[in-house]
Amino acid sequence: MSTPMWHQYETPEDVAEAACQRIQQAAKKAISERGCFKLVLAGGSTPQLTYEKLTQCNCNWRHWQIYYGDERCLPVDHPERNSHMANYSLLQQVAIPEENHFPIPAELGLVQGAAAYSQTIRHNFPFDLVLLGMGEDGHTASLFPGHSIENDALVIAVSNAPKPPPERVSLTPTALNQSRQLLFLITGSNKSTAVSQWRSGENLPISLIQCQGVSEVLIDRTAAS
Ligand code: 6PG
């Protein structure tokens, strides 16, 4: 298990550019070594800039497989779905085959969605690259402070999430840690308290993420201050 390496950038744009470069490099390596690139997308708003930048890159898209770290229990085309943001900022702009897109079926509800997605990912480890954000309270994916996680579960049903909507489906640390590489993308002054708590060793949900491979935190100046 590796502790993350921290890289600070001036602006969210610089974070997105650095993330885009790393994702491209990881994809090239994975495809040359194993013929496919298994990428887990982060939700929330931070990664949108990175996804938009990826659309300008010349990647071997047909070998990309897209998974998600979490999803909100909303209808498939709801604008607040993480898959909705990924679709319009990246997936509808590049030639990743439809059959290589594995959205979390959170529209089935939190319990059914979690059970179904556990079957989807259980034979696909290790991921090649996991992208994650962080909330102001140190949550990541839909792993929130004070919420219990069944020990060896891969995907959990989340209710009473403090960040709306309350019902979600989330990969667990057990699943997220099974990756060759991991990138945390963190920007904005509202994250600075949780960042310093994390760095000083406080027990936050994000602290549970210690991937088997290389992990890095790409952070902008305001989140690091
Ligand atoms: C979600 C995300 C969540 C997000 C953080 C940061 O469904 O909301 O998975 O974990 O990554 O809350 O969100 P922002 O990038 O919007 O600050």
| pLDDT score at 1 | 61
Structure confidence at residue 150 as a pLDDT band (50, 70, 90): confident
| pLDDT score at 3 | 84
> Amino acid identity, residue 14?
D
**Which residue puts its alpha carbon closest to atom 13 of ligand 1?**
44
Check: pTM over 0.95? Answer yes or no: yes
Q: What atom in ligand 1 is closest to the CA of residue 46?
A: 15
| pLDDT score at 30 | 98
Work out the percent of the chain whose per-residue pLDDT is above 70.
99
| pLDDT score at 8 | 98
What is the H or E stretch that residue 28 is in?
helix 12-34
**Residues 45-59: what's their mean pLDDT?**
98
Give the Å distance between the CA of 7 and the centre of ligand 1: 20
Comparing CA positions, the residue from 146, 183, 133, 209 lying closest to residue 18 is 183
- CA 50 – CA 52 distance, rounded (Å): 5
Instruction: Tell me what the pLDDT averaged over the chain comes to.
Output: 97
Structure confidence at residue 212 as a pLDDT band (50, 70, 90): confident
- CA 59 – CA 130 distance, rounded (Å): 18
Give the Å distance between the CA of 71 and the centre of ligand 1: 10
Structure confidence at residue 181 as a pLDDT band (50, 70, 90): very high
| Model confidence at 106: pLDDT above 80 | yes
Tell me which DSSP letter residue 187 carries. Answer: -
Distances (CA, A) of 172 to 4, 137, 148, 196: 18, 17, 11, 23
